[in-house]
Amino acid sequence: MEKHVIFLDSTSYEDWISEVDGNDLHAIALCFRLLRQQGYYVSCDAFRRFTDDQGDFKKELVNEVHEMLSLYEAAQFRVHGEEILDEALTFTITQLKLILPKLSNSQLAQQISNALKFSIKDGVVRVETRKCISFYQENHESSNQVLLNFAKLDFNIVQRLHKKELSDLTR
């Protein structure tokens, strides 16, 4: 399947990303990753605000595990020549591996372990969706039940459709 890359006008992206809290690395990384996953080329300059004067990622980011994980997943969608994302990938892999043993057997530890083993970029969409549903369901304090139920319903409908298509092929 051929994938088309769509270039967003940098000003429209900058306007859009400016609506996100400029200090919320998780939100910026998530927006960046989702746009890149859908074939949009967006600038990685939004990540520069999380670096120090030497161009290294700020050390205080290691205290924000969810943000580190989001940056790690976003960095996987880098293209050639995006040094800040190369640096982000190296930084987050190192830090997540150091953090992982300290998290014991938590849901977050499982999520990080899976992310380090299986690249989100190379994952099968439906399998990744199923993993996200499980992680989201276990995280009770922030789960939106309507969104969770919708995701489960969508997953089950698509799964039934695939089963039907397979059974039609074997007839």
DSSP letter for 58, please.
P
Q: Which CATH superfamily is domain 1-122 in?
A: Terpene synthase, N-terminal domain (1.50.10.130)
CA distance 164 to 171: 11
For the ranges 9-13, 71-75, 113-117, the one whose mean pLDDT is highest: 71-75
pLDDT of 93 strictly over 90: yes
Per-residue pLDDT tens digits for 4-22: 444 455 456 556 666 666 6
CA distance 20 to 106: 29
pTM of the model: 0.71
> Average pLDDT, whole number, for the chain?
80
